[in-house]
Amino acid sequence: MTQFLQTLFDGVTVGCLYALIALGYTMVYGILKFINFAHSDVFALGVWLSITIASWLGIGATGQPTPAWYMGLLVLMGAMVICGLVGFTIERVAYKPLRKAPRLNVLITAIGVSLLLQNLGQQKFTFGPYPKSFPTLMESSSLFSVSGVQVRLSDVAVIGTAVVLMAALQYLIYHTKLGSAMRAVSFNTRNASLMGINVDRVISFTFIVGTMLAAAAGFLYGLKYEGQAKQTADSMWVMLGLKAFVAAVVGGIGNVRGAVLGGLLIGLIEFFGVAYLSSQYRDAYVFAILILVLLLKPEGVLGKATVEKV
């Protein structure tokens, strides 16, 4: 029972991270109809920016006291803003010239951007090729426990922040003027522009929001796995991003609620697979689910029945 609850809890926590990243995939897909392959690298960028900003602020080094709570928020904001700028630049420089190109060309460009980010990140003048560990931003002792499941403060922070961000996104899309512009562009780009919507601006904005969410996911990832050393040149970053992409597809790509649902689903499947089947095939479960979903219900779980594209 304890193992079940623990797995459930872990699955939901990581599922929230997947959901945040999946939102970026799904929003871009909803509007531009292409897989932004570089999105997973933006997520990795979020992780590394968090580490770097934290060390600039002089927090998180071993032996230092746990910093004040707002310092963490500062790191999060910094990472989100910088990632948002990077997302904006990527869209303007690499994707905008290809608005009318075949979709495969855009996909290839996205792969190029992904490779560029990966390899730039490893350079000495950026994050360097050596492993770094995530700073401790919060008390790592467990907050409370429910029937044997240890709930840490950082886990609560991860889920809490993710929920707040998703709620904010929901509000943005359905209750603001910009949000309805986004939905309009997603529904029909040409008509939207005829109605006087500045499509380029909406697209840029979508990219910024998407990459900021990915950056937040990166920060939260660091929060969850604090103290663990990771390398920049590790395919696990792309892997995490890919799983998030799978989440977006499983939930129904282009569908915001689908991305959240898919994220949680993928998180749970992964953790239950690892706990009850075998940890060796961790990545295989996710992709097996992807292939199953694509074959049985290619439009995803939430599918077209509720076309709430963004």
Among 1, 65, 70, 102, binds another protein (CB under 8 A): 102
Q: Which residue lies nearer to another protein by CB, 103 or 201?
A: 103
Among 8, 74, 108, 268, binds another protein (CB under 8 A): 108
Written as one string, the DSSP assignment of the chain is -HHHHHHHHHHHHHHHHHHHHHHHHHHHHHHH-S--TTHHHHHHHHHHHHHHHHHHTT-S-TTSPPPPHHHHHHHHHHHHHHHHHHHHHHIIIIIGGGTTS-HHHHHHHHHHHHHHHHHHHTSTTTT-SS-EE----S--SEEEEETTEEEEHHHHHHHHHHHHHHHHHHHHHHHSHHHHHHHHHHH-HHHHHHTT--HHHHHHHHHHHHHHHHHHHHHHHHHHTTT-EE-SS-HHHHHHHHHHHHHHHHH-TTBHHHHHHHHHHHHHHHHHHHHHT-GGGHHHHHHHHHHHHHHH-TT-SSTTTT--B-
C-alpha distances (whole Å) from 46 to each of 13, 50, 219, 307 are 18, 6, 6, 30
Does 235 sit near another protein (CB under 8 A)?
yes
Does 295 sit near another protein (CB under 8 A)?
yes
Nearest-approach distance from CB 118 to another protein, in angstroms: 8
Does 287 sit near another protein (CB under 8 A)?
yes
Nearest-approach distance from CB 79 to another protein, in angstroms: 23
Does 278 sit near another protein (CB under 8 A)?
yes
Does 261 sit near another protein (CB under 8 A)?
no
Nearest-approach distance from CB 274 to another protein, in angstroms: 12
With CB under 8 A as the contact rule, which of the stretches 156-164, 179-187, 214-222, 282-290 interacts with another protein? Answer: 282-290
Among 48, 207, 221, 245, binds another protein (CB under 8 A): 245
With CB under 8 A as the contact rule, which of the stretches 16-24, 110-118, 171-179, 220-228 interacts with another protein? Answer: 110-118
By CB under 8 A, the residues from 119 to 138 that bind another protein are 119-120, 123
Nearest-approach distance from CB 88 to another protein, in angstroms: 16
Does 288 sit near another protein (CB under 8 A)?
yes
Question: Which residues are within 8 A (CB) of 155 and not within 5 positions of it... i.e. 6 or more apart?
Answer: 9, 13, 224
Does 116 sit near another protein (CB under 8 A)?
yes
Does 242 sit near another protein (CB under 8 A)?
yes
Among 23, 35, 137, 162, binds another protein (CB under 8 A): 35
Count other Cβ atoms within 10 Å, centred on residue 272.
16
Q: Which residue lies nearer to another protein by CB, 224 or 243?
A: 243
Binding site for another protein (CB under 8 A): 34-35, 94, 97-98, 101-109, 111-116, 118-120, 123, 235, 238-239, 242, 245-246, 249, 278, 280-284, 287-288, 290-291, 294-295, 298
